[in-house]
Amino acid sequence: MSDVRNNEQFNRYELDVDGHLAVAYYRPWPGLITFTHTEVPPELGGRGIGSTLVKGALDLARAQGLKVASHCPFVSAYLGKHPEFNDLLG
């Protein structure tokens, strides 16, 4: 498993795992990103890949000084379970 990366060309965070790509799409705004959709290939289901992807994306957003909003049910659920990211909510 490699690290989460921000693919700004496609407005998504990406995580390569076992030849498959998990992605978390977002809309950028000045100082803010809004997560819109997360996709984890079925082959990777049940392994915590979505959580690893979202945690990495949130860590990268924090490092860039961005606030975060979510219109994605998966990201919203993750944020609800991980109050350590509350400071990012915009």
Render pLDDT for 58-89 as a digit per residue (tens, 0 to 9): 999 999 999 999 999 999 999 999 999 999 99
Domain with 38 in it: 5-88
Question: Would the pLDDT of 2 be above 70?
Answer: no
24 close to 54: Cβ distance less than 8 angstroms: yes
Cα distances (Å, whole numbers) of residue 18 to 2, 5, 48? 9, 16, 14
Give the chain's domain count.
1
In this structure, how many other beta carbons lie within 10 angstroms of the beta carbon of residue 34? 17
pLDDT-derived band at 1, boundaries 50, 70, 90: very low
pLDDT tens by residue, 11-60: 999 999 999 999 999 999 999 999 999 999 999 999 999 999 999 999 99
As a whole number of angstroms, the distance between CA 49 and CA 44 comes to: 7
Average model confidence (pLDDT) across the chain: 96
CATH number for the domain harbouring residue 20: 3.40.630.30
Give the angle 32-73-69 at the CA atoms, nearest 5°: 15
Query: Taking the chain, what is the end-to-end CA distance rounded to the nearest angstrom?
Result: 30
